[in-house]
Amino acid sequence: MNQLYELLHEYRVIESERLVLRPLELEDAQAMNQYASDPETTYFVFGTHKDLAQTKHDLAFYFLKEPLGKYAIVEKESNRMIGTIDYHSINEATKAAELGYTLHKDYWGKGYMSEACETLIKVGFEKIGFNYLSAMHDVRNPASGRVMEKAGLHYLGVLPYHRMDNKDPLRPVDDAYYHMTKEQFFEKRDKK
């Protein structure tokens, strides 16, 4: 029997060197709104939030309605919620998932997102039992690709005309696709 969701429940809180990944709460709306209302932070990720009410709605709708595999990124030193990361598009039959993330721009370039991704990849393969993890980004956002590479994901190629832009519904987006199989993960881990 596949215990994927039971294991996602067991690993609701995960710690790394500088971060705690934990379930979101409605009380996180204020911290989330600080970056969700910033057009620079949200440009490639989702529509910029107009106000705190929209953030509360989206937080409840996406993160609280189905919370397994969705995490607040909390900086240990300040105990501040600085972003989110999640396993989404989970395929229970093949034990595959996609990683998605957003980080407050004040924390860009400090390795926090690579650390959060590495942590979810490690827990995903070692504890939860995923067979395959992937992530993608708009080709116009190469910084996200650098995060994926630092976290150990392998570049696979570009998915042309993959989706429509969330800011300009007339512009198709080409997504760069990264991935890792459990075999690749364990081979790399065991060489260390």
Q: What is the CATH number of the domain that holds 52?
A: 3.40.630.30
1 pLDDT tier (thresholds 50, 70, 90): low
pLDDT at 6 over 70: yes
Distance CA 134, CA 89 (A): 10
How many Cα neighbours within 13 Å face the side chain of 86? 19
Q: What is the DSSP code (8-state) at residue 49?
A: P
Range of the domain at 111: 4-191
- Mean pLDDT, range 98-107, rounded to an integer: 95
Cβ-based neighbour number of residue 92 at 10 Å: 10
Of 8-12, 47-51, 86-90, 114-118, minimum mean pLDDT range: 47-51
- Residues 6 or more apart from 80 whose CB is under 8 A from it? 31, 74
Predicted local confidence at residue 36, as pLDDT: 92
**Tens-digit pLDDT profile for residues 50-86:** 999 999 999 999 999 999 999 999 999 999 999 999 9
| Cβ contacts of 86-90, under 8 Å, gap ≥ 24 | 87/8, 87/120, 87/124, 87/130, 87/133, 90/4
| Predicted confidence (pLDDT) at residue 168 exceeds the cutoff of 80 | no
The span from the CA of 146 to the CA of 144, in Å, is: 5
Average pLDDT value for residue range 88-97: 96
Binned at pLDDT 50, 70 and 90, residue 23 comes out as: very high
Give how many domains the chain has, as a whole number.
Answer: 1
pLDDT bracket for residue 40 (50, 70, 90)? confident
Beta-carbon contacts of residue 116 (< 8 Å; ≥ 6 apart) = 16, 19, 21, 71, 73, 83, 85, 101
Nearest to 11 by CA among 97, 164, 119, 149: 119
pLDDT attached to residue 146: 94
